[in-house]
């Protein structure tokens, strides 16, 4: 391991980030969280349909880490639901600067969808403090999934292991 790689590994394993795996009910997804996630669910409207959105989320190292899933039940609704999830993230930020993460991000086992992808957004809160959001939307069958890291600044030491830790069961 290179010196730089060792430094990143040590920082990612800092006491503020206590990595653990959590199973996400529904699509057969495992996720690595830097803290113990708490589950919740609620009814939402997504692309014109009522669905139950389940979320696992936690806060660590100045960021919130979350994975949300919903079964839209209709294969034709998957693309519009992914677009709605992405647009909802963009709509929460005032004048965001949007950048795509390193090319080629994808998740083995995900159902190919044109609306799937990962974006990094930077904006400001109403009080002027910085806000960074790193989010991905993807699908498996009729399940739509959104993984998000939100905090005051982009932190690759935390977001990289989070997104790299997403895995579908074979």
- The answer to whether the beta carbons of residues 132 and 151 sit under 8 Å apart is yes
Exposed / middle / buried, residue 157 (Cβ in 10 Å: 0-12, 13-18, 19+): middle
14 phi, psi to nearest 5 deg: -65, 160
pLDDT digits (tens, 9 = 90+) for 13-59: 445 678 999 999 899 999 999 999 999 999 999 999 999 999 999 99
**What does the alpha-carbon distance between residue 167 and residue 107 come to, in Å, rounded to a whole number?**
7
**What does the alpha-carbon distance between residue 71 and residue 110 come to, in Å, rounded to a whole number?**
14
**What does the alpha-carbon distance between residue 158 and residue 114 come to, in Å, rounded to a whole number?**
27
pLDDT digits (tens, 9 = 90+) for 71-84: 999 999 999 999 99
Strands 49-60 and 29-33: unpaired
**What does the alpha-carbon distance between residue 37 and residue 58 come to, in Å, rounded to a whole number?**
5
pLDDT digits (tens, 9 = 90+) for 63-121: 999 999 999 999 999 999 999 998 888 777 766 677 666 556 788 999 999 999 988 88
3-state secondary structure of 38: strand
**What does the alpha-carbon distance between residue 113 and residue 137 come to, in Å, rounded to a whole number?**
10
Exposed / middle / buried, residue 169 (Cβ in 10 Å: 0-12, 13-18, 19+): exposed
The domains of the chain, with CATH numbers, are 3-168 (3.40.1000.10)
């Amino acid at each position: 391991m290179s010196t730089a790689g060792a430094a990143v590994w040590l920082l990612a394993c800092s006491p503020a980030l206590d990595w653990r795996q959590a199973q996400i009910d529904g699509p057969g997804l495992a996720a690595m969280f830097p803290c113990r996630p708490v589950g919740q669910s609620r009814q939402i409207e997504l692309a014109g349909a009522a669905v139950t959105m389940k979320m696992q989320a936690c806060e660590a190292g100045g960021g919130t880490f979350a994975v949300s899933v919903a079964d839209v039940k209709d294969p034709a609704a998957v693309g519009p639901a992914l677009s709605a999830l992405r647009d909802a993230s963009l709509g929460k930020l005032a004048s965001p600067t949007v950048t795509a993460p390193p090319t080629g991000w994808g998740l083995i086992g995900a159902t190919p969808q044109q609306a799937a992808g990962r974006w990094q957004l930077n904006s400001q809160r109403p009080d002027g403090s910085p806000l960074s959001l790193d989010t991905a939307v993807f699908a498996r069958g009729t399940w739509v999934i959104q993984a998000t890291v939100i905090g005051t600044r982009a932190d690759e030491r935390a977001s990289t292991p989070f997104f790299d830790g997403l895995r579908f069961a074979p």
